[in-house]
Amino acid sequence: MARIKGVPAGHAAPSVKIAYWFTRRHFARLTGREPGRGIEPLQICAHVPRLLRAYGRFEQAVAKLHGLDRRADALAELMAATLIHCAFCVDLASQISRQRGLSDGELLALPAYRTSGLFSDVDKLVLDYAVAMTRTPVEVPDELFGRLKQHFDDAQLVQLTFLIALENLRARFNVALGIGAAGFSEGMVCARPVPAEEIA
């Protein structure tokens, strides 16, 4: 149960109700499932309408980015979510990853990606980057960044870095406020939250 009750649609301003509707529709498109409680972070953010509006525009801009392969995007966000142990984000990102072509086996093998034959060398670089950026303190070795530059141009690296940082923001917000899973992956395989030191 979240530590703060979200603003229900019945008590929300018209602009907030519209944001709820568009977010539900967006999540349904992304996941292929009805969001149910899936807009809880937005409902909590609605306590500060100005912040909600700014964040909504921010997420809309991010949704229009297409410079990265969808698999790289999915892997990066899912890894960050699992490292922060955000139940909401892991639930949502597992379903989005499935929609973007990741198999159940890959979702389950994520903690052991470095030794798994299910991930390509580029996949492993993306996942290494997500791990390095999500650790506290952040430690991204020059050698890792150099290897990333062999596969991604500058614009793609900016987008990849931004997406991992954004997932950190989302996940840390949700964990701090006690926002749990919303059922996006209900009845299906879900990635497992894992401490960074257990990454194999």
Tens of pLDDT along the chain (200 residues) come to 899 999 999 999 999 999 999 999 999 998 998 877 789 999 999 999 999 999 999 999 999 999 999 999 999 999 999 999 999 999 999 999 999 999 999 999 999 999 999 999 999 999 999 999 999 999 999 999 999 999 999 999 999 999 999 999 999 999 999 999 999 999 999 999 887 777 75
Q: Position 114: which residue type?
A: R
Q: Position 160: which residue type?
A: L
Structure tokens at 121: 């060398």
Instruction: Check whether residue 114 and residue 166 sit in a common domain.
Output: yes
Residue 2 lies in a domain: no
Q: Does a cis peptide bond (omega within 30 degrees of 0) precede residue 141?
A: no
Residue 3 lies in a domain: no
Number of folded domains that form the chain: 2
Instruction: Check whether residue 58 and residue 130 sit in a common domain.
Output: no
Instruction: Check whether residue 38 and residue 93 sit in a common domain.
Output: no
Instruction: Check whether residue 41 and residue 140 sit in a common domain.
Output: no
**CB-based contact 41:187 (threshold 8 Å):** no
Distance CA(82)–CA(79), nearest Å, equals 5
pLDDT value at position 200?
A: 56
Going by C-alpha positions, the residue among 41, 49, 48 that lies closest to residue 18 is: 49
Distance CA(93)–CA(168), nearest Å, equals 13
Q: Which structural domain range is residue 184 located in?
A: 70-198
pTM more than 0.75: yes
Structure tokens at 147: 């290897």
Instruction: Check whether residue 58 and residue 123 sit in a common domain.
Output: no
pLDDT value at position 197?
A: 74
What are the residue ranges of helices labelled H in 32-153? 40-45, 49-63, 70-84, 87-99, 104-109, 121-134, 142-149
Last residue of one domain, picked from the residues 45, 63, 81? 63
Instruction: Check whether residue 55 and residue 114 sit in a common domain.
Output: no
Instruction: Check whether residue 36 and residue 103 sit in a common domain.
Output: no
Instruction: Check whether residue 75 and residue 174 sit in a common domain.
Output: yes
Last residue of one domain, picked from the residues 19, 35, 63? 63
pLDDT value at position 76?
A: 97
Residue 4 lies in a domain: no
Instruction: Check whether residue 147 and residue 183 sit in a common domain.
Output: yes
Rg, the chain, Cα only: 17
Residue 171 lies in a domain: yes
Instruction: Check whether residue 37 and residue 59 sit in a common domain.
Output: yes
DSSP string, 132-144: HHHSSS----HHH
- DSSP tag of 12: S
CATH assignment of the domain containing 85: 1.20.1290.10
| Residue whose structure tokens are 């497992």 | 192
Instruction: Check whether residue 38 and residue 87 sit in a common domain.
Output: no
Last residue of one domain, picked from the residues 46, 63, 80? 63
Residue 87 lies in a domain: yes
**CB-based contact 25:38 (threshold 8 Å):** no
Instruction: Check whether residue 107 and residue 136 sit in a common domain.
Output: yes
